[in-house]
Structures are given as C-alpha cells and as structure tokens.
C-alpha cells in the first residue's frame, strides 16, 4: 500500500544565489525527491546572432567576448580561427603561440571560477575567495597586455591588437611557480574533504552513452570517461605541437561520471594548461603580430563550421558569407546550452541540495546559453 502524496512545484527562480546567472529551473518535487527538472532559458538573450548580421567582421569580436564572459579569449579564438579559415590566410608563428598562451591562461581563470563557485554552492565559502585571489593575478596579466580585465578584444582576424608587454612575460613566468602550490592547497582544503566527497560522489552520475547521445562536450563528457578534446581530436592553431595530457574521470571516489569526477577533471586540466604555457613560452618566436591583418575583410562566398575547445566544452561557429563586408549568418554552438540539457537526466531521484551540486558541476554561463 503506497501513500499518494501531492507533487509540489518549486521554482528555483531566475533570482537565486546559486543558479549561475538568470536561469529558471522548475522542479517537480515529491517531498524532497526530484521527479522532473525543466530549465527555462532566455532571460539573458541579447540577440548576438542578429547583431552579427549588421556588423563587419572585426566589429563582431567585442560581441563574441560577451557571450561566455568568463572565458572571453576562448570565444575570440574560436571566431578568428573560423574567419581565417574562411579567408584562407595564415597567421605568423608568434601570433599562434601568443594565442595559445592567452587561451590557456583563460582556461585556468575560467576553471578557477567554476571550482570556486562550486565550492560556494556546496557551502565551503573559503576556497571561493582563494580561487578568486588567484584569478585576480591572471586578470591583471591580461590587463598588462591589452588593457582590459574581462572583455578583451585582443585576438583580431589575422593577428592580435597588441604585442606582448615585457611586464607580461616577466609576471607570467612568475605566476607559474606561484600557482602550483595553490592547486595543492585547494586539493587539501576542498577536494579531499570528506564532507565534500560525501556531497559530490555518486551524485548526478552521467553514463557515457547518455553523455554522447545528448552531445555534451568538455569536462562534462570527459568526466564520464571519454578522452575527447577538440585540441587533440581536431587540432586547430598549433595545438598539435604541444605535449599535454587529457584528464578523464575515473571514479576515484564513487562512480565514473559523478559530480566529483567532473570537478576533479577541471582541477587536473589547470595543471595541464600550465604545462602548455611553459612549453609555449620556451618556443615563442620573434615577429610582428599585426603584419597579416587584412585591410578589408571580405571573405569569398561560402560557409564554414569550425570549433575550438572552450573551458566549458566545444564552442562552434558556423559562418555563412555572401561576399560582403558583413557576414550573412553567424551561428554559435554554445557548449553550456548543450550541456544544460542533461540536467533532467542527472537530477531524477535526488534531493534539492543535489540539484545545486549538479548544476555547479556542469558549469554553465548564462551568457553562452542564451547568447
């Protein structure tokens, strides 16, 4: 004989301290167990794709910054790679190396935000501050190069807007040995903590089949056990010259594909990014960064889809050009938008506190989900 209880609908509304942005999650609860989660999007839609039809190709770059504002260099990288492939131009070696350095620093900064806010949602408020303190150092590095801390407009089609500043090189080389012990401290404080493990292990397990069927990418897919990284499987720019590892979730504490695995994949990726930056600094050639920027960007008629590895997953740009100075259509495949789909699968049968943990481990940025 089973008790018929009423289903309660709870709104984890657009204004909430833990939904990383303005996201509305409609939870159908039975007591404290979740039956269904429906995300409602669109609160941050700013018509990026429509704007892009009215701008020239260089003018779109500040707009691409603002989609995933926590990983702006990654967005710019994806866009300029797409347009350069459409134009068929080759950029100087120095430009390639600097772009890789910037993208990897941005990856570290973005993962620091993800880890810090994840800890904050779980209740550990101190690692959040520690992560942001380290992120400040990276942001001031970016400020030395291009003058802005978060929305850079640094990577241009065919080159960069400024060359590296000598302050940047010096401070960046000092940052790498400063940061490695901080990762260890974060692991001691948060990753190994028994209470944290109890909260995250075996919660929100994403089986590999489901992950592939939903089309997830990035740490969400790698946390479920698949070694898939656009930098290795479909190399762009000069990533095939670097020697780095791709961390995969192995179920060290709990099952493969749970929240802890996704979290730990991000921690390990930060270390790998440091490795790439060290190799890039060693091999950095001399040269001019603005020499290959075309005066007029008018790609031939055609269309192209190109993808890069953003900290949150595979960011894809599909550009249709009809020969004019403005693109005919720019479609962006935002990784957070695709990854957000799996939240319904992951949350079934868990408690409300677990919804917060799962959402934090998927690591979405609403700017990218809504564009």
Partner 1 sequence: MIYDYLAELTGSGILAAIISSFIPLTFVLLFALFAVWLERKVSAHMQDRLGPMRTGWHGATQTIADILKLLQKEDIVASDTDKKLFNIAPFLVFAGSYAAFAAIPFSSTYIGSNLDLGLLFIIAASSIVVAGILMAGWASNNKYSLLGAMRSAAQIISYEIPTVLVILSIIMITGTLNLATLSEWQTGYFWNWLILGGPGLSVGKFLLIPFMFSSFLIMYTSTLAEVNRTPFDIPEAESELVAGYHTEYSGIKFAMFFLAEYANMYAVSAIVTAIFLGGYQSPIGYLGNLLGISWLVPVEQFFWFAAKGIFFVFVQMWLRWTLPRLRVDQLMAVCWKYLIPIAFVNLIIVGLITLL
Partner 2 sequence: MIQYFKNIYSALSTIAIGMKITFKHLFVPAVTIQYPDVKPQLPERERNRLYVNIEDCIGCDQCARACPVSCISIETVKSIPGEDLGKTSQGKKKALWVTKFDIDIAKCCYCQLCVFPCPTECIYMTDVYEFSEYERENLVYDFVNLTKPEREQKKINYAQFEAEKATQKAAAPVAPKVEAKPVPPVENSEAK
Judge contact between 101 and 281, C-beta under 8 A.
Answer: yes
Residue 67 binding partner 2, by CB under 8 A: no
Residue span binding partner 2 (CB under 8 A) among the ranges 98-106, 113-121, 138-146, 332-340: 138-146
Residue 193 binding partner 1, by CB under 8 A: yes
Q: What is the rounded end-to-end Cα distance, in angstroms, of the chain?
A: 49
The residue from 14, 21, 39, 62 that contacts partner 2 (CB under 8 A) is 62
Residue 143 binding partner 2, by CB under 8 A: yes
191 versus 310: smaller Cβ distance to partner 1? 191
DSSP per position, 112-142 = HHHHHHHHHHHT--HHHHHHHHHHHHHHHHH
CB of residue 6 vs partner 1: minimum separation in angstroms? Answer: 13
Residue 126 binding partner 2, by CB under 8 A: yes
Which of partner 1, partner 2, none does residue 188 bind to, with CB < 5 to 8 Å depending on kind? partner 2
Judge contact between 274 and 177, C-beta under 8 A.
Answer: no
Exposure of 328 by Cβ count < 10 A (0-12 exposed, 13-18 middle, 19+ buried)? middle
Which of partner 1, partner 2, none does residue 8 bind to, with CB < 5 to 8 Å depending on kind? partner 1
Q: How far is CA 246 from CA 115, 242, 268, in A?
A: 18, 12, 9
Rounded distance between C-alpha atoms, residue 90 and residue 191, angstroms: 43
Judge contact between 38 and 129, C-beta under 8 A.
Answer: no
Residue 18 binding partner 1, by CB under 8 A: yes
The residue from 119, 159, 204, 367 that contacts partner 1 (CB under 8 A) is 119
Helix (H) or strand (E) holding 345: helix 343-347
Residue 97 binding partner 1, by CB under 8 A: no
CB of residue 61 vs partner 2: minimum separation in angstroms? Answer: 8
Residue 147 binding partner 2, by CB under 8 A: yes
Rounded distance between C-alpha atoms, residue 329 and residue 40, angstroms: 26
Residue 122 binding partner 1, by CB under 8 A: yes
Residue 176 binding partner 1, by CB under 8 A: no
Closest CA to 286 of 97, 73, 77, 89: 97
Q: Which residues bind partner 2 (CB under 8 A)?
A: 55, 58-63, 126, 133, 136, 140, 143-148, 151, 153, 161-162, 165, 167, 185, 188-189, 192-195, 300-301, 323
Q: Which residues bind partner 1 (CB under 8 A)?
A: 8, 10, 16-18, 32, 119-126, 129-130, 133, 189-190, 193, 195-196, 198-199, 351-354, 356
């Amino acid at each position: 004989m089973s008790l018929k209880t009423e289903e309660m609908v709870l709104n984890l509304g657009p204004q909430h301290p833990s939904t990383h942005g303005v996201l509305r999650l409609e939870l159908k609860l039975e007591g404290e167990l979740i039956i269904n989660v429906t995300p409602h999007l669109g609160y941050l839609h700013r018509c990026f794709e429509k704007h892009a039809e009215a701008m020239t190709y260089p003018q779109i770059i500040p707009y691409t910054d603002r989609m995933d504002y926590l990983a702006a260099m990654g967005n710019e990288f994806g866009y300029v790679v797409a347009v350069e492939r459409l134009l068929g131009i080759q950029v100087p070696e120095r430009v390639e190396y600097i772009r890789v350095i910037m993208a990897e620093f941005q990856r570290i900064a973005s993962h620091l935000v993800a880890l810090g806010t994840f800890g904050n949602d779980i209740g550990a408020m101190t690692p959040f501050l520690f992560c942001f303190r380290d992120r400040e150092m990276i942001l001031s590095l970016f400020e030395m190069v291009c003058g802005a801390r978060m929305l850079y407009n640094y990577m241009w089609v065919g080159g960069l807007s400024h060359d590296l500043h000598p302050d940047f090189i010096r401070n960046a080389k000092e940052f790498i040995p400063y940061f490695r012990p901080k990762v260890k401290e974060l692991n001691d404080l948060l990753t190994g903590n028994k209470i944290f493990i109890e909260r995250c292990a075996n919660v929100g397990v994403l089986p590999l089949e489901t992950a592939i069927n939903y089309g997830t990418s990035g740490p969400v897919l790698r946390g479920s056990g698949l070694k898939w990284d656009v930098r290795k499987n479909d190399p762009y720019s000069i990533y095939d010259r670097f020697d780095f590892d791709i961390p995969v979730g192995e179920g060290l504490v709990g099952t493969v594909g749970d929240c802890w695995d996704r979290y730990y994949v991000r921690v390990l990726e930060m270390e790998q990014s440091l490795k790439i930056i060290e190799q890039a600094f060693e091999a950095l050639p001399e040269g001019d960064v603005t020499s290959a920027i075309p005066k007029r960007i008018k790609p031939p008629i055609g269309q192209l889809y190109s993808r890069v590895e953003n900290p949150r997953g595979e960011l894809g740009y599909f550009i249709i050009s009809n020969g004019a100075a403005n693109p005919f259509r720019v479609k962006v495949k935002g990784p957070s938008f695709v990854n957000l789909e799996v939240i319904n699968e992951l949350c079934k049968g868990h408690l409300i506190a677990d919804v917060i943990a799962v959402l934090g481990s998927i690591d979405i940025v609403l700017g990218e989900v809504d564009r």
